[in-house]
Amino acid sequence: MIRANRIDELDLAHIAEELDDVGSELYRRLESSFTLLFAHMLKWDHQPERRSRRWEATIREQRKRVLRLLEKNPSLRAKLVEAMTEGYEYGRDRASGETEMPLESFPEKSQCTWYNAIEREFRLGEPDLSSSSGPGKTR
């Protein structure tokens, strides 16, 4: 109808609802990527003896997903802090369950900066810099 220039026939309430649904789904995808990212960052920092290429790959993949979502949907930037906060809360729960470590083993609130979430190095076989630039540390 829009392309046919039949604007007067549009169901604006339905269109607004659909747009809200799309926005909510994009937000859920962003939050989900942060959840997996933070869960693996926490596991990396709290279980160095169990680090694996799989964890490293998951961190890289989720970072790419976050950046791609934000690139393709710039309006999500307005909810970035909220998505990171909620993603950390869910990621903390997930890390606790997957490591069988008590929830209290992980910081209650993330102090992780955008830089640490997206650019901190996570590579097997390299020196562990988590004490100077890990989640909760600013750089």
Q: What is the pLDDT along the chain (139 residues), one digit of tens a residue?
A: 666 766 776 666 655 665 555 568 999 999 999 999 999 999 999 999 999 999 999 999 999 999 999 999 999 999 999 999 999 999 999 999 999 999 999 999 998 899 999 999 999 876 555 544 444 433 3
Is the pTM of the predicted complex or chain greater than 0.75?
yes
Is the four-CA dihedral 35, 39, 42, 48 of positive or negative sign?
Answer: negative
Tokens of residue 113, six digits: 């900066």
